[in-house]
Amino acid sequence: MDALLVDELVSVEARNSAWWCDYFNAYEARQRTIPWDKLRPLTTHERRVLVASLQDFQLGESSEGRHGMARATAYGKRVGDPHYAEAVRLFFAEENRHADYLAEYLRRNGAELIGKSWTDFVFRRVRRLMGLETLLTVLLSAELIGEVYYRAIRRATVCPALRAVCTQLLTDERMHIRFHIERFRFIRRGRGPVRRSLQDGVWWLFFTATRLSVWAKHRRAIRLGRRSFRRFWSETERSLRRCIRDANA
């Protein structure tokens, strides 16, 4: 790759990161009004099914992102992108706002927050294993499965507050997926089809293990949103296929 093309790619990356910084910084304009005054108490069955599931996802949404920040900083220095680390920091800040929404809902229903979960532990450990590309793979997998999950929860409840929270999270998740996919394109540009296919295969394996774990732990909540295993599997599969296609575009 000649020097001119490298300079062009770097400048495109830097402009992309600067755009995302502006986008994330404008978060207040994108926040929905959550009608907390219209909160409906959970029924006995809903409490038994939803609370533990939402506690787990609330924990998963909360992260300081220290390891992600370190990888983004190293990557930005390597490619000459001074804005990417800040964009990643703002992304994690938005994830923590999601955790705050879920925490508020749980507290208003008299439910405590949890400090540990085996699924959250595994996700955090895998994110720390290797470099930025592995981190993005894990984050994208979580976002894609989260989309299906929050759609199911929104359908499972008639509570206006919880439905509004789910809608806000779904709106943000769509942009988070775009954010990570665009970086994937930069990272993967110039790679041959064989290498990409091998990496996509590893991604499929990780994604399959992840959604099996999510289904095993959250199937009652997902079923409450009228998602059978077959539907959950097909929706997550379509999402990953689209994500891989866009990442390799």
CA–CA gap between residue 72 and residue 131 (Å, rounded): 9
- List CB contacts of 123: < 8 A, sequence separation 6 or more: 60, 138, 142, 210
What pLDDT, on the 0 to 100 scale, is given for residue 154?
A: 96
Prediction pTM value: 0.90
What pLDDT, on the 0 to 100 scale, is given for residue 1?
A: 46
Largest CA distance in the chain: 65
Helices (H), 109-192: 118-127, 132-156, 160-188
Instruction: Work out the end-to-end distance of the chain between its first and last CA atoms, rounded to an integer number of angstroms.
Output: 19
Each residue's pLDDT expressed in tens, for the chain with a length of 249 residues: 444 455 555 688 999 999 999 999 999 888 999 999 999 988 899 899 999 999 999 998 887 778 888 999 999 999 999 999 999 999 999 999 999 999 999 999 999 998 877 666 566 666 566 688 888 998 999 999 999 999 999 999 999 999 999 999 999 999 999 999 999 999 988 888 899 899 999 999 999 999 999 999 999 999 999 999 999 999 999 999 999 999 888
**What domain range is 39 assigned to?**
3-247
- List CB contacts of 41: < 8 A, sequence separation 6 or more: 109
Question: Tokens in use for 225?
Answer: 């949103």
Q: How many domains does the chain have?
A: 1
What pLDDT, on the 0 to 100 scale, is given for residue 218?
A: 96
Question: Tokens in use for 131?
Answer: 């470099």
CA–CA gap between residue 100 and residue 206 (Å, rounded): 28
What pLDDT, on the 0 to 100 scale, is given for residue 248?
A: 86
Helix (H, G, I), strand (E, B) or coil at 24: helix
What pLDDT, on the 0 to 100 scale, is given for residue 4?
A: 47
Domain with residue 168: its CATH number is 1.10.620.20
Other CB atoms within 10 Å distance of the CB of residue 248: 17
Q: What is the DSSP string of 206-237?
A: HHHHHHHHHHHHHHHHHHHTT--HHHHHHHHH
